[in-house]
Structure 1
Amino acid sequence: MSMQQLLLMGAGHAHAFVLEAFAKQPEPGIAITVVSDSPLAAYSGSVPAWLAGECTLRETQIDIAALCQRANARLILSPANTVNTRERNVALANGERVNFDVVSVNIGSTLASPQQHGENLPMLLAMRPLGSLHQRWQALQNDIRHLPSGGAQRVVGVGGGAAGCETLMSVLAQLRKQRPDIDWQGHLLSASNALLPDAGRLPRWLTRRALSQAGITVHSQQRGETLVEGGVTTQDGKRIDADIVLWATGAVGHPWLVSTELPLDQHGFIRVDNTLEVTGQPNIFAAGDCAAFTPALPNAGVYAVRMGPHLADNLRHACHGEPLRPWQPPKRVLSLIGTGEGRAIASRGGFGVSGKWVWQWKKRIDARFIARFNPPFEN
């Protein structure tokens, strides 16, 4: 059998597990290539701690280059522009084309940007794509350093899911530390009537309490739509005053996927079967936020983490022409939501608990996860 070309597009959480699996159990007959826009990949679970100023950016990152070295994989630092499913190759932004026998896509998601009308718009921080968040956050912090002393600043978070709540509380905690001379006022727009629609009643109550303790006003059934002068408008035309808008809603697939022959759902995510193989596309796989599983899974990094080891096995099977095994998503997952000021909420199904010890527990879990993939000599 000739050498099988396995291509990993993107350096998401699931692909970290794939590289780890091939590092532990090498396959001489499989040549692995990874395409990524960076040698470092952010771990989504640690992002709130970084936004809150409790750890450095580097402490949130997985060293993909070192992981590729361990797995004897070639790393190309260029994002993909498109994938040709018929000719079995991928075109990269650097002009290179990479052929494959088996390919896996783990490129995360992006956000549908808000419409923008007029001048003097609020400062905008979009929370996706994750890979370039540090650049947008740095730019916003630079602008904040130049704000005059005194007065108030209204920070409006758009999105009532776990990411939207967590992001707003973390950012506010950091801004209050960075500029205590400014009165930071928080507001959260949630399109649904309940925060954290996938969580139980107790976790939702704990989250609402945490938002209240952080001085954040919740606006339920208000879908943020358009940035206008001095604020953001909602679906019913109401204007919410804002100086800064954190955009954490409307997850969609990357735009370039539309030009491919990959089957996409209404949000631009790649449809996959329960084996994580793309529907109707043999030897093409997708995992993490960019994959549309049936029934639909929430956009949460924990599912990409759970998919990872199974994806590694099925990619190995595909390279050997062996039958694939179905993946069964967990019915309940543990969700750990940072609430700023060194506290967090643990949620699993209807169970919920909060406290400083939960935050310390979350930080230990996240640090262990990152250390699992990084060289042991790193701090």
Structure 2
Amino acid sequence: MELLLIGAGHAHAFVLEAFAKRPDQAVSITVVSDSQFAAYSGSVPAWLSGECTLRDTQIDIAALCQRAGARFIASPAVAFSASERQVTLADGSVMTFDVASFNVGSTLTLPHVIDPQREAGVGKSLEKGSVEKGSLPTLLAMRPLSSLHHRWQALREDVAALPSGVHQNIVSVGGGAAGCETLMSVLAQLRQQRPDIHWQGTLVSASTTLLPGAGWLPRWLTARALRRAGVHIQAGMRGSALVPGGVQTDTGERIEGDIVLWATGAVGQGWLQQTALPLNDKGFIQVRASLEVIGQPGIFAAGDCAELQLSSSCPSPSSSLPKAGVYAVRMGPVLAENLRAACHRQPLIEWQPPKRVLALLGTGDGRAIASRGTIGFSGRWVWQWKKRIDARFLARFNPPFND
């Protein structure tokens, strides 16, 4: 049986680990992805804040494939045919399969750009490092995660060229955990990189509260951490467009900003729209509790790219699971069992989403906030705890660097 793993997300790392621990001579595994290194989302805030290197946040998928006896191809999928059991890769090659699984993450809807000068044909190109009031802000999109390091490096190069003594306001659009954590981490790193610049931040949240779904104590701790980081919170406002000098909200107001972190509006990968896979209105692949795609036997999806059809026995049957790495991690072992079962035409088991998960949110200052339901606490020890958890997770899948 030919098992094809499309993408190198967290759930597929568990699949490879399972086959490495329990090899199956009847199953031939191939993994296709754009890079042999896959970012672990839990460690990204530490990297953004400058506490570790990019390599410290990555799983070596090629090495993991070697342990599992799988073939790795460094070319992402760009087309998929369920009826023909074929996948076309970016390099033009075509792969066939018996059983396939998607773990390709998500991307986001970029903001509209409204630039009257450009539309009128009178805009001018600014030299790198120059500052002009009324110019469009620099955008840092937080998804897709696989290419974030390229965008982050480009932004840091722009910051390095700024003149000394200027004021820079970083606006983060998105009041969830990712938006809050990213803003505090980025502020910490840029303040360290350019202490001669006056940095401040603004968080724009469409919700009237931070961290929708969290208890009041985690929300209060997060608001306090944001204030400590010099961040002004604009709740109940939805950022909709980039305009000269900042971000325009859906009510037409303008929030001044020089750099915009876009951490909202997660959607499925665009190329999936050209497939016959069942997608929801945001482009995510609809799956059953077994993680098998609805109406597509032998095809599975997990992680951010999947939209689980929640049953009435689940805690929130009318809502979607958040797009967070913790769910991909929890799906991993069940996905591994079901892919093996599908290859042998055996019954599948169901994955039950956890009612509550532990969330650990870094604040960029050597501290972190722990949240589980209504419970919340913070401190430097929480950050050290988070780093130990993340290091153990990465060590689970990575060989020692000195091997």
TM-score by length of 1: 0.98
Q: What does residue 96 of structure 2 align with?
A: 99
Q: 1:181-330 to 2 correspondence within 5 Å? A: 181-295=196-310, 296-330=320-354
Aligned equivalent of 1:355: 379
The alignment partner of 1:340 has SS state of: coil
Structure 1 runs of 4+ with >4 Å offset = none
Q: Does 1:169 align with 2:193?
A: no
**Of the candidates 40, 62, 86, which is equivalent to residue 43 of structure 1?**
40
Shift in CA distance, 378/129, structure 1 to aligned 2, threshold 3 Å: farther
Separation in 2 of the partners of 1:169 and 1:273?
37
Q: Report SS of the residue matched to 2:363.
A: strand
- Count of equivalent residues: 376
DSSP-derived class of the 1:369 partner:
helix
Instruction: Give 1:139's match in structure 2, choosing from 129, 133, 154.
Output: 154
Secondary structure of the equivalent of 2:80?
Answer: strand
Determine the C-alpha separation between the residues in 2 that align with 1:365 and 1:29. 35
One-letter amino acid matched to 2:105: G
Where does residue 25 of structure 2 map in the other structure?
28
What amino acid does structure 2 have at the position aligned with 1:39?
Q
Cα RMSD (Å): 0.8
Q: What is the match of residue 82 of structure 1?
A: 79
Give the Å deviation of 1:378: 4.5
Q: Deviations over 1:7-60 (max 9, x none)?
A: 000000000000000000000010000000000000000000000000000000
Q: How far off its partner does 1:294 sit?
A: 2.5
Deviation digits for residues 227-259 of structure 1 (CA, Å, limit 9, x no counterpart): 011111000000011100000000000001111
The aligned counterpart of 1:5 is 2
CA distance in 2, matches of 1:117, 1:210: 33
Q: d(CA) in 1 for partners of 2:53 and 2:37?
A: 14
Paired residue type of 2:65: C
> Identity percentage over the alignment?
69
TM-score (norm 2): 0.92
Give SS of 1:261's match: coil
For residue 312 of structure 1, what is the amino acid of its counterpart? A
SS of corresponding position for 2:387: helix
- Which letter does structure 2 place at the counterpart of 1:198? G
Looking at structure 2, the residues matched to 129 and 231 of structure 1 have their Cα atoms a distance apart, in angstroms, of 23
The answer to whether residue 106 in structure 2 is matched with residue 109 in structure 1 is yes
Residue 62 of structure 1: aligned partner: 59
Determine if the alignment matches structure 1 residue 148 to structure 2 residue 163: yes
Structure 1 CA distance for aligned equivalents of residues 220 and 280 of structure 2: 33
Residue 117 of structure 1 and its aligned partner are, at CA, apart by: 1.8
Q: Write the letter of the residue equivalent to 1:305.
A: V
Q: Using the alignment, how far apart are the partners of 1:294 and 1:89 within structure 2?
A: 25
Measure how far apart 1:151 and its partner are: 2.2
Q: CA deviation at 1:280?
A: 0.7
Residues 189-234 of structure 1, C-alpha deviations (whole Å, 9 max, x = no match): 0001011002111111110111111110000011111001111100
Report SS of the residue matched to 2:342: helix
Cα distance per residue 1:103-160 (max 9 Å; x no partner): 0000000010001121531001000000000000000000000000002101000000
Change (3 A) 1:206 1:286: same
> Hey, what does 1:344 align to over in structure 2?
368
Q: CA deviation at 1:82?
A: 1.3
Q: In the aligned structure 2, how far is the partner of 1:326 from the partner of 1:365? A: 27
Paired residue type of 1:46: S
Equivalent residue letter for 1:356: R
Query: Residues of 2 paired with 1:105 and 1:22: CA distance?
Result: 17
Could you say which residue in structure 2 is the equivalent of 1:121? 136
Q: Distance in 1 between matches of 2:95 and 2:270?
A: 20
Counterpart secondary structure, 1:15: helix
- CA–CA distance in structure 2, aligned partners of residues 179 and 378 of structure 1: 34
Give, in whole Å, the separation in 1 of the partners of 2:170 and 2:216: 27
Letter matched to residue 33 of structure 2? S
Structure 1 position 377, deviation (Å): 4.1
How far the C-alpha of 1:165 sits from its partner, in A, is 0.2
Q: Find the counterpart in structure 1 of residue 132 from structure 2.
A: none
Instruction: Give structure 2 stretches of 5+ with no counterpart.
Output: 119-134, 311-319
